């Protein structure tokens, strides 16, 4: 599962930010995960306890904000949710698509108490 590796990188980044900003106690991390980012939100949730185990973030809460994977068909211009329509245009059936949103994977917020 590559989610664990990705989360370990997130943990390192958050620890770095916490050190830079002199945040002593982090409460919650908010991650933005796009449906087209290649990261599965439910796996991220499942992996989180393992990723933070024995780190300074062990007691933090993880919140995920899932960004819908919206694409535009290059053939007919229809905009639709790529996941709901299985990466095919519901209007013309083309699979030639431009991603408009949903590729995000970023740390959106770090809450310190
Ligand atoms: Zn189309």
Per-residue pLDDT reduced to its tens digit, 58-95: 999 999 999 999 999 999 999 999 999 999 999 999 99
Q: 87-108: per-residue pLDDT in tens?
A: 999 999 999 999 999 999 999 9
At residue 2 the predicted structure's pLDDT band, cuts being 50, 70 and 90, is confident
Q: Domain 2-112 class?
A: alpha beta
Supply the pTM of this predicted model: 0.84
Structure tokens at 89: 């245009």
How is the chain split into domains, by residue range? 2-112
- The CA distances from residue 67 to 32, 33, 40, 70, 92, in Å, are 7, 6, 12, 9, 25
**Residues around the ion ligand 1 (C-beta < 5 A):** 73, 75-76, 78, 89, 91-92, 94
Ligand 1 centre distance from Cα of residue 96 (Å): 8
More confident site: 77 or 41: 77
pLDDT at 1: 58
């Amino acid at each position: 599962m590559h989610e664990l590796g990705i989360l370990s990188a997130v943990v390192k980044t958050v620890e770095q930010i916490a050190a830079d900003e002199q945040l002593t106690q982090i409460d919650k991390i908010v991650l933005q995960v796009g449906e087209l980012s290649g990261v599965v939100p439910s796996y991220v949730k499942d992996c989180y306890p393992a990723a933070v185990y024995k780190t300074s973030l062990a007691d933090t809460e993880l919140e995920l904000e899932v960004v819908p994977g919206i694409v535009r068909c290059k053939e007919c211009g229809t905009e639709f949710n790529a996941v709901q329509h299985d990466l095919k245009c519901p209007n013309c059936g083309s699979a030639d698509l431009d991603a408009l949103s949903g590729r995000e994977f970023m740390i959106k917020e770090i809450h310190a108490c």
